[in-house]
């Protein structure tokens, strides 16, 4: 071991700082340092005279080996291991090289990744000092540990038996990584880090029903072992970088996963101070989500001033925020069919370009884009119920005579091929308020509009549209086959209105057209006019703009642009309507319909450095960029293109030279396998975060991930087949005196099942677990919604745990951001309002009470009892992955006889052996 240490040059951050932090800084820190000797910063440490470069007889080293325990350091603690003292002595002998305070390129997380010689186990061994390693874990403990860590579920009795017969760890790891349950487990952990929920949060916490496709994307990505760089790129800018793939768009649900201030975004006018504050905070959340999750870097402090501890300036903060200046979050349409998705996204992109004013690139289309030829046709014959009809010179029919309660016109049109019909309801001075209806107030109702072929069979109307719909009485009601509904135009009376009806397929005349009004009293069709077209693809669903009435040779350039934009928008709308109904995902978006006062930016919003973070005190304008402390050049981008900004950020984060990205994910994977990261603050690699216990080991893992092409499954295999992971959690009193927290990894960590693992394990043991994969989130609570503007009522106590929704895996449950599930909350489920890189792990009386008395546990215990009958051995094998002893069998049967089998089964689910691994 000493020879191995001598082969490595002593590095302050890697070797010395962890020792000082763990054993010295508590007493010799910045506040009231003992003996006025500080070891938390370079200048005061050398200024004291106790620590001198190259002087191995300095006071700093002498006090570490004194015989008198009252004089020896560290005070009131066991002496440092000989290996650690030797490291400190070598460090002093080599000149006590201590990086200057505040140097941005000297913090451990910012140094280049250098793959060390050795393996996971040799690098751990090198830092153990004289600590004794715990023995290997027993096979039963290993199969539980492996299965839970990779799938979140307990092993079945058959899987336990197979492993006990042949404890092949590599083969078992491969089997579990190939299971679809692997993606479900690791997607749940990623959702923690991204603070995902199915509601917006804030004061109203309204539902977000289309968030779940992002969760399903994660499950699929983990199961398919998507290379990590691609995984990052898809979530930051997948819609831009991979436009032909629907999953790239869905992946941007990552940026939209966090809270959203519905009140401010939807109901506050644009360009007001409050709206700017809401948009600023929204960008801040997207930025924090990206940098904390992917790079374990906190930047929010720099919103108001340069970061006090980490190398992040205020200018750099706003450079990063500018990457999100043109994007919001809302529902986005997408299609699983790549061809359809490609077409839809291109049409939406073109529409956005038109909205931005980029018409010049399409002006030539105006020459070919003529208005669809509509031909006014006089009926070859007509019949009216209860009304007299008078033909007019303009081709319309004016109703006269008494006003009956109902009305119907049946017209015969002797025409050629017809693809669409237009109905105009016109005004007339002889009608009340000029019509177009005959009611006293001029209102009109059209109950049904039907078209019959020459054999009298109804023709299918594929699409209906109109220039105006009375609230609650839309044109769709005129083709729904229900006489009690109708198309209405009130209160827009005194002006003509139009409706267009496109046939599902062209029809050849003669045709019979039936217009019926049978709803309400005297809302009669007063003056209708019919037109038909044979155009292959009708575009006119609303009146042409005034520019269309100007002869082409007299139109100004601006009029030509305006008309071109109108016709192109109509074409795009028609083509979008012709596509199959899309799916929806709540994701990052720069193109979406205006919703109340929430509208897209159309182009990136200008970003300024804000004095003290105040939106009312903008300073210089800021363009997108990265952090100077990261040795990666920020890629080129189009300043006017929102997507180009995010694409540049995605490339910068995922660059192989971005050391924070690769150290971050390597540490997260280690954390979820061991219950503690090599750096124990997985979301903060800054100076206020933790220092790595094994810096070289972290670099080994990051380098391994890079060399594998970003395969997370390869990283899992490397970690899970190491001796470190396979070691038992056996307690050693002597080792605990030196390293009670097991930072040096001399034993395995005894881990409690997290909330999701626990709930899913209970369902698995009871035989009630529904392994249906994917789909909308299930509400495991009683739910009552209100109109927008009011918070829904969510009642977990009123939910029937026997409902099918209660049997799904926890990853598929609907997560309300401000209303956590009480049962999961007591077991430290992630707070969906926070970016959770590491869940809290507590052991409280409330947990025992929940396991004993919660309705979910009571019902599952009943199912567990029904599953095992009187088979005590099966009960133990299902719950604890082992057979009971003779004494346990007798005690269990006695207890079941007195209190019932389900109560006895509940005892098994309440014991530590079920709740803890090892």
**From CA 898, how far away is CA 903, in angstroms rounded?**
10
Mean local confidence (pLDDT), 454-459:
93
Q: What are phi and psi of 668, to 5 degrees?
A: -65, -45
Tell me the longest C-alpha to C-alpha distance in the chain: 121
Strands (E), 396-496: 397-400, 407-413, 417-425, 445-446, 448-452, 461-466, 487-488
The whole-model pTM stands at 0.76
Q: Which of 457, 510, 519, 446 minimizes the C-alpha distance to 479?
A: 446
Residue of higher predicted confidence among 791 and 201 = 201
Looking at the DSSP bridge assignments, the partners of residue 512 are: 412, 452
Residue 725 CB-half CA count within 13 A: 28
**From CA 649, how far away is CA 643, in angstroms rounded?**
10
**From CA 803, how far away is CA 813, in angstroms rounded?**
13
**From CA 726, how far away is CA 482, in angstroms rounded?**
70
Q: What is the pLDDT of residues 171-195, one digit of tens each?
A: 999 999 999 999 999 999 999 999 9
Q: Which of 733, 917, 752 minimizes the C-alpha distance to 843?
A: 752
Q: Which of 185, 183, 150 minimizes the C-alpha distance to 169?
A: 150
Asked whether the predicted pLDDT for residue 415 surpasses 90, the reply is no
- Full strand arrangement of the beta sheet holding 497-508: 375-376, 528-533, 417-425, 497-508, 461-466
- Mean pLDDT lowest among 90-94, 704-708, 819-823: 90-94
Residue 438 CB-half CA count within 13 A: 21
Q: What is the average pLDDT score of the chain? A: 90
pLDDT band for position 685 (50/70/90)? very high
Residues 6 or more apart whose Cβ sits within 8 Å of residue 462: 502, 503, 504
Give the DSSP letter string of 99-112: PPTT-TT-SGGGSP
Looking at the DSSP bridge assignments, the partners of residue 517 are: 407
Count of other CB atoms within 10 angstroms of residue 660: 23
pLDDT at 542: 56
Q: Which of 110, 102, 104, 109 minimizes the C-alpha distance to 41?
A: 102
pLDDT at 738: 87
Q: Which of 776, 578, 721 minimizes the C-alpha distance to 121?
A: 721
Residues 6 or more apart whose Cβ sits within 8 Å of residue 609: 314, 315, 318, 618, 619, 620, 622
Q: What are phi and psi of 553, to 5 degrees?
A: -70, -15
3-state secondary structure of 186: helix
Asked whether the predicted pLDDT for residue 316 surpasses 80, the reply is yes
Residue of higher predicted confidence among 593 and 612 = 612
- Mean pLDDT lowest among 145-149, 352-356, 522-526, 811-815: 352-356
Looking at the DSSP bridge assignments, the partners of residue 588 are: 329
- Give the CA-trace dihedral at 721, 727, 728, 733, to 10 degrees: -160
**From CA 114, how far away is CA 92, in angstroms rounded?**
24
Q: What is the pLDDT of residues 644-659, one digit of tens each?
A: 999 999 999 999 999 9
**From CA 819, how far away is CA 816, in angstroms rounded?**
5
pLDDT at 548: 62
pLDDT at 549: 58
Q: Which of 274-288, 460-474, 595-609 has the highest mean pLDDT?
A: 274-288
Query: Which two three-digit tokens encode residue 825?
Result: 């909350």
Looking at the DSSP bridge assignments, the partners of residue 585 are: 332
Q: Which of 498-512, 559-573, 784-798 has the highest mean pLDDT?
A: 498-512
pLDDT band for position 575 (50/70/90)? confident
**From CA 461, how far away is CA 421, in angstroms rounded?**
10
Strands (E), 603-677: 607-610, 618-622
pLDDT band for position 574 (50/70/90)? confident
Mean local confidence (pLDDT), 237-264:
95
**From CA 818, how far away is CA 452, in angstroms rounded?**
56
Looking at the DSSP bridge assignments, the partners of residue 795 are: 782
Packing angle, helices 901-910 and 845-853, rounded to 10? 150
């Amino acid at each position: 071991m000493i020879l191995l240490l001598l082969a490595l040059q002593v590095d302050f951050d890697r070797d010395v700082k962890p020792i000082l932090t763990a054993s010295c800084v508590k007493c010799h820190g910045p506040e009231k340092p003992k003996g006025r000797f500080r070891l938390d910063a370079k200048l005061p440490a050398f200024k004291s005279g106790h620590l001198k470069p190259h002087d191995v007889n300095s006071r700093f080293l002498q006090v570490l080996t004194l015989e008198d325990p009252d004089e020896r350091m560290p005070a009131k603690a066991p002496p440092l291991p000989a290996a650690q003292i030797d490291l400190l002595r070598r460090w002093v002998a080599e000149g006590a090289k201590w990086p200057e305070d505040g140097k941005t390129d000297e913090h451990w997380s910012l140094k280049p990744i250098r793959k060390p010689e050795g393996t996971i186990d040799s690098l751990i061994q090198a830092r153990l000092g004289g600590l004794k390693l715990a023995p290997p874990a027993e096979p039963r403990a290993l199969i539980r540990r492996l299965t839970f860590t990779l799938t979140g579920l307990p092993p079945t009795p058959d899987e336990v038996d197979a492993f006990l017969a042949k404890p092949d760890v590599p083969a078992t790891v491969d089997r579990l990584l190939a299971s679809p349950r692997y993606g479900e487990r690791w997607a749940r952990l990623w959702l923690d880090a991204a603070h995902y929920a199915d509601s917006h949060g804030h004061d109203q916490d309204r539902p977000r029903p289309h968030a779940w496709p992002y969760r399903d994307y994660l499950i699929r990505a983990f199961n398919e072992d998507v290379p990590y760089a691609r995984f990052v790129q898809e979530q930051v800018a997948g819609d831009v970088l991979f436009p032909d793939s629907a999953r790239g768009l869905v992946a941007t649900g990552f940026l939209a996963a966090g809270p959203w201030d519905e009140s401010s975004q939807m109901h506050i006018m644009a360009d007001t101070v409050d709206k700017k504050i809401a948009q600023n905070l929204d960008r801040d959340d997207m930025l924090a989500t990206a940098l904390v999750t992917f790079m374990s870097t906190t930047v929010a402090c720099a919103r108001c001033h340069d970061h006090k501890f980490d190398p992040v300036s205020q200018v750099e903060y706003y450079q990063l925020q500018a990457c999100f200046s043109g994007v919001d979050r809302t529902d986005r349409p997408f299609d699983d069919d790549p061809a359809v998705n490609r077409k839809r996204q291109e049409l939406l992109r073109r529409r956005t370009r038109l909205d931005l004013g980029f018409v010049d690139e399409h002006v030539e289309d105006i020459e070919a884009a003529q208005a669809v030829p509509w031909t006014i046709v006089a009926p070859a014959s007509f019949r009216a119920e209860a009304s007299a009809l008078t033909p007019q010179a303009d081709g319309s029919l004016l109703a006269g005579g008494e006003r009956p309660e109902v009305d119907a016109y049946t017209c015969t049109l002797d025409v050629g091929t017809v693809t669409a019909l237009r109905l105009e309801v016109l005004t007339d001075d002889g009608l009340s308020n000029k019509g177009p209806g005959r009611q006293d107030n001029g209102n009109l109702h059209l109950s049904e509009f039907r078209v019959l072929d020459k054999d009298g069979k109804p023709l299918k109307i594929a699409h209906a549209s109109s220039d105006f719909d009375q609230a609650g009485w839309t044109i769709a009601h005129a083709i729904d086959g229900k006489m009690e509904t109708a198309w209405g135009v009130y209160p827009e009376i005194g002006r003509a209105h139009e409706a267009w009806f496109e046939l599902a397929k062209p029809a050849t005349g003669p045709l019979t057209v039936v217009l019926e009004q049978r709803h309400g009293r005297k809302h009669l069709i007063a003056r209708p006019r019919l037109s038909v077209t044979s155009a292959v693809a009708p575009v006119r669903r609303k009146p042409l703009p005034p520019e269309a009435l100007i002869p082409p040779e007299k139109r100004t350039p601006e009029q030509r642009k305006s008309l071109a934009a109108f016709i192109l928008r109509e074409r795009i709308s028609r083509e979008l309507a012709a596509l199959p109904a899309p799916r929806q995902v709540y994701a990052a978006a720069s193109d979406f319909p205006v919703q109340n006062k929430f509208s897209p930016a159309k182009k990136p919003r200008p970003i300024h450095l804000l004095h003290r973070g105040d939106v009312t005190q903008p300073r210089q304008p800021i363009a997108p960029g990265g952090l100077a402390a990261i040795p990666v050049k920020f890629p080129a981008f189009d300043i006017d293109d929102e997507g180009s900004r995010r694409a540049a950020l995605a490339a910068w984060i995922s660059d192989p030279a971005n050391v924070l990205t690769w150290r971050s994910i390597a540490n997260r994977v280690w954390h979820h396998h061991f219950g503690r990261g090599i750096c124990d603050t997985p979301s903060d690699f800054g100076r206020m975060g933790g220092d790595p216990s094994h810096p070289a080991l972290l670099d080994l893992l990051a380098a391994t991930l890079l060399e594998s092409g970003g395969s997370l499954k390869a990283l899992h295999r490397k970690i899970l087949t190491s001796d470190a992971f396979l070691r038992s959690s056996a307690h050693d009193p002597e080792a605990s005196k030196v390293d009670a927290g097991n930072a040096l990894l001399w034993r395995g960590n005894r881990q409690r099942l997290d909330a999701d693992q626990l709930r899913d394990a209970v369902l698995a043991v009871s035989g009630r677990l529904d392994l249906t994969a994917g789909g909308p989130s299930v509400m495991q609570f009683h739910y009552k919604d209100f109109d927008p503007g009011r918070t829904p009522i969510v009642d977990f106590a009123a939910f029937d745990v026997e409902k099918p929704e209660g049997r799904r895996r926890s990853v598929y449950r609907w997560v309300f951001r401000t209303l956590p599930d009480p049962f999961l909350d007591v077991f430290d489920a992630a707070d969906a309002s926070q970016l959770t890189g590491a869940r809290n792990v507590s052991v409280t009386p409330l947990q025992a009470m929940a396991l004993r008395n919660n309705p979910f546990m009571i019902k599952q215990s009943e199912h567990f009892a029904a599953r095992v009958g009187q088979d005590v051995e099966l009960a133990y094998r299902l719950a604890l992955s082992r057979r009971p002893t003779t004494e346990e069998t007798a005690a269990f049967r006695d207890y079941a006889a007195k209190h019932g089998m389900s109560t006895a089964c509940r005892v098994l689910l309440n014991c530590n052996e079920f709740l803890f691994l090892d």
